[in-house]
Structure 1
Amino acid sequence: MRVLTGVDLPVGSPGGSVELLRDLYLAPDAPIAAEVFMLGGDGAARSPVELDVPGKQLDGSGFWAYTRALAAAIRARFPEDGHDLVHLQHLAFGATPALLRAFPASPTLAFVHGTDLLFAADHPTQQEVLGQAVAEAGAVSVPTAAMADLLPVRPRRLEHIPWGVPDRLLADPPPRAEETDDKGGLRLLYAGRLTPEKGVDNLLEAVARMDGVGLAVAAPTAEYAALAARADVSRVHYLGWLSRPALWRAFAAHDLLVVPSVRLEAFGLVAVEAQACGLPVLHQRVPGLAEVLADSSLAVDLASGPQALLDAVAWLAKDHAALADLRAAGRRNAARFPLSRTAREILRLSAELVERGP
């Protein structure tokens, strides 16, 4: 089966959605064979193909002009008979309407990533694009049931396919670093984007009131610089934006991952990868993440103020047995989400759509 897919983001962009794109389509052992495009180059033969399409915008007539230009670049680079199926990613952004415009007769499978839902809630153009994509796609796949509830229109066919973490991580996680002793505070870690919906300000407020607790942050450089310009990060050890293997080693070197998101997480890949590395997770109960983690992690109301996090960290610092229980529960939970299963389900559904036709 020949798949065409892509996102209108530059190669190397941060975020879980891009990591999932690499895992499924671009890694040396990627389970799905596909031609993939991103932004940033001249369309030469490389993986992913980099298309040079300037003028990206979020709203209004400028967005539609950019989408038309992107559709033209896609048609010029990829022949119409070169694929059997189009996988639509990031449903509220330019790549999806461009692909629908470029290849209107191709069967399509659309994937909800979460960021598309957030932008659609805040931008009228993105709401329109999301609704069009959901209505026109042959099928829509959501990683959690909560994402289905947030779709603006009913799709022709809805499938629940959870995302997954690389099987090699589940089989051979990095060795855990030595545990902290009773006199030392917990080594907290935050890993991910620093956009407003991630709730990092709530985390910093709590850490500022903790004694003997260290917080490490793995995040994009520009976003961390913006955070440091407006917030007190004197208690933060900045790790940089880590490669995937380096991030997994960081998971193994800390005691608790904090996920303070305040709106939604489509799935929460970073939390599940942390669990696979034996790192317990403390999180804000938001749609998507609450479904994936269930009772395998510690849910705390981080949005109500710093005290809930203070109490949870103080308890876990004293009760190492509770921390060990969370570690074991996390490993069991991560084992439910191998990437190989995600790929099998995607390929099954893709084959059905190709057989059915547009």
Structure 2
Amino acid sequence: MSAPAGGGRPRRVAMVTVHTSPLDQPGTGDAGGMNVYVLETARQLARQGTAVDLFTRTTSAAQPDLVEVEPGVVVRHVAAGPYEGLSKEDLPGQLCAFAAGMMRVAAHAPPGYYDLVHSHYWLSGQVGWLAADRWSVPLVHTMHTMARVKNLHLADGDRPEPLGREIGEAQVVEAADRLVANTGREAGELVDLYGADPARVAVVEPGVDLAVFAPGSQAEARARVGLPADAVLLLFVGRIQPLKGPDVLVRAAAELVRRRPDLRERAVVAVLGGASGTGVTTPMGLDALADRLGIGDLLRVVPPVDRPTLADWYRAADVVAVPSHSESFGLVAVEALACGTPVVAANVGGLPTAVGDGGLLVDGHDTSAWASALGRVVLDPGRRAGLSRRAVEHAQGFGWARTAGRLLEVYTEALARPKELSIHDAERLTGIPPAVIP
């Protein structure tokens, strides 16, 4: 299959997201910021003239083969292994079946149907590598998270990522025509930890839906989510797993209440999300932790909610905590800022870029340091008001249309100047010595 005649923008992109569907509710299972990223960029690409087919694994017999999200965006469910009961760790064994499903779709399409493959996460990169090679089109890959980065910043009790993932990621880095990094820091990690060619790494910052996540009345938002008007709300949003550090907020909140007993009557510590990753096999026990620390009566664990309700939670909060141990970007931070809520975040990964001057960064995860940072926001109305104004201003630079426009530039560049695979690159990718490579 050939690329668009004379290069230019792709007419249709095959996006691959094997392990989690863009239609899944963020905050449940493995669904999170990547799901939002994939769906929102697909929508914006279609609105800018490039159609997108999203390939994801079938996880229920009730799922149709094809779902049209909007004109130009379809989700294609591919059967690969049992529909239910497979964890993300089980999926490497199903990549061949998934790739075969993609090939069957393309076999029924006209020649040259897909101009480019964009894979998300390393599992998808393995499939995207094969599809791009079979269709003779460029491969663009976005890591979202990287094993070598995560293993450098493990939370206590968390499992390191396996060597097989590291090897798989390194292969995709070698194979991709272009690598998309969320921030300059992530671009540096691709180069330093994976040996990526800097000329093939492009920085494309994620976005936020500024129509949904926007400032509003805190009092009205609190009424809608069932909180008292005078509450002091410390909020965590995200998957409940050690990597994301919700326990850091619980410990810091307990320390803040110990320092300021007058907060006890009004403080609410809300954790909004579902168990994920090692948090499923080994529950974090946030309720028991809060009880041991004497704030069991202040903790509320809330299951994932739809986006309008999530925006209300952000508006209702006095501060949003993002205490991740590793974070490629941090969409939660930008969503909160867009609603005018200051963020206190760990100084890791892409969070400095996401937070900007709309919040505070904390080095490390020391309870005392986090309690002090949260206190500086919620106990100083003047500081909080200033952060809130700057938060909204900062978030305005992160619209999804801007992200999609930058992706189109990367696609166009990949189509015009695809990566040339040398015989030595081929040896590293396949393990076959140059003498026997035709």
TM-score normalised over the length of structure 1:
0.87
Give the structure 2 partner of residue 208 of structure 1. 254
Deviates most, 244-253 or 288-297 = 288-297
The root-mean-square deviation of aligned C-alpha atoms, in Å, is: 2.9
In 1, Cα distance between equivalents of 2:149 and 2:217: 35
Give the structure 1 partner of residue 52 of structure 2. 34
Give the structure 1 partner of residue 32 of structure 2. 15
Equivalent residues of 2:16, 2:54 under 8 A apart: yes
Equivalent residues of 2:331, 2:354 under 8 A apart: no
Aligned match for 1:220, one of 230, 255, 274? 274
In 1, Cα distance between equivalents of 2:92 and 2:373: 48
Question: Per-residue deviation at 1:162?
Answer: 0.8
Describe how 1:266-281 pairs up with structure 2 within 5 A. Answer: 266-281=328-343
Question: Per-residue deviation at 1:168?
Answer: 2.4
Describe how 1:1-358 pairs up with structure 2 within 5 A. Answer: 1-11=11-21, 12=24, 13-26=30-43, 33-40=51-58, 44-46=65-67, 47-54=74-81, 65-79=93-107, 81-90=112-121, 92-93=122-123, 95-104=124-133, 105-114=136-145, 118=149, 122-151=161-190, 152-155=194-197, 157-169=200-212, 173-178=214-219, 186-209=232-255, 210=257, 211-212=263-264, 213-220=267-274, 226-228=283-285, 231-233=288-290, 234=296, 235-262=298-325, 264-301=326-363, 303-304=365-366, 306-357=367-418
State the AA in 1 paired with 2:75: P
Cα pair distance change 1:221/1:195, threshold 3 Å: closer
Question: Per-residue deviation at 1:10?
Answer: 4.0
Deviates most, 274-283 or 295-304 = 295-304
Question: Per-residue deviation at 1:69?
Answer: 1.7
What are the ranges of 5 or more consecutive residues in structure 2 without an aligned counterpart?
A: 1-10, 25-29, 68-73, 153-160, 223-228, 258-262, 291-295, 420-438
In 1, Cα distance between equivalents of 2:408 and 2:148: 24
Cα pair distance change 1:287/1:208, threshold 3 Å: same
State the AA in 1 paired with 2:386: D
Equivalent residues of 1:188, 1:258 under 8 A apart: yes
TM-score normalised over the length of structure 2:
0.72
State the AA in 2 paired with 1:247: L
State the AA in 1 paired with 2:251: E
State the AA in 1 paired with 2:216: P
Equivalent residues of 1:169, 1:276 under 8 A apart: no
Equivalent residues of 1:221, 1:241 under 8 A apart: no
Equivalent residues of 2:181, 2:204 under 8 A apart: yes
State the AA in 2 paired with 1:283: A
DSSP-derived class of the 1:226 partner: coil
What are the ranges of 5 or more consecutive residues in structure 1 without an aligned counterpart?
A: none
Question: Per-residue deviation at 1:357?
Answer: 4.7
In 2, Cα distance between equivalents of 1:28 and 1:84: 14
Equivalent residues of 1:58, 1:125 under 8 A apart: no
DSSP-derived class of the 1:168 partner: coil
Structure 1 vs Structure 2: percent identity of aligned residues? Answer: 24
Equivalent residues of 1:167, 1:340 under 8 A apart: no
Deviations 1:299-351 (A, max 9, x none): 224512x2223223333333101000110111111112111111111012212
Question: Per-residue deviation at 1:204?
Answer: 1.4
DSSP-derived class of the 1:150 partner: helix
Question: Per-residue deviation at 1:103?
Answer: 3.2
In 2, Cα distance between equivalents of 1:27 and 1:243: 20
DSSP-derived class of the 2:407 partner: helix
State the AA in 2 paired with 1:309: W
State the AA in 2 paired with 1:71: A
DSSP-derived class of the 1:188 partner: strand
Question: Per-residue deviation at 1:167?
Answer: 4.0
The total of aligned residue pairs comes to: 348
Question: Per-residue deviation at 1:206?
Answer: 1.9
In 2, Cα distance between equivalents of 1:6 and 1:174: 34
Deviations 1:200-237 (A, max 9, x none): 22221122332422111110267589333774342321
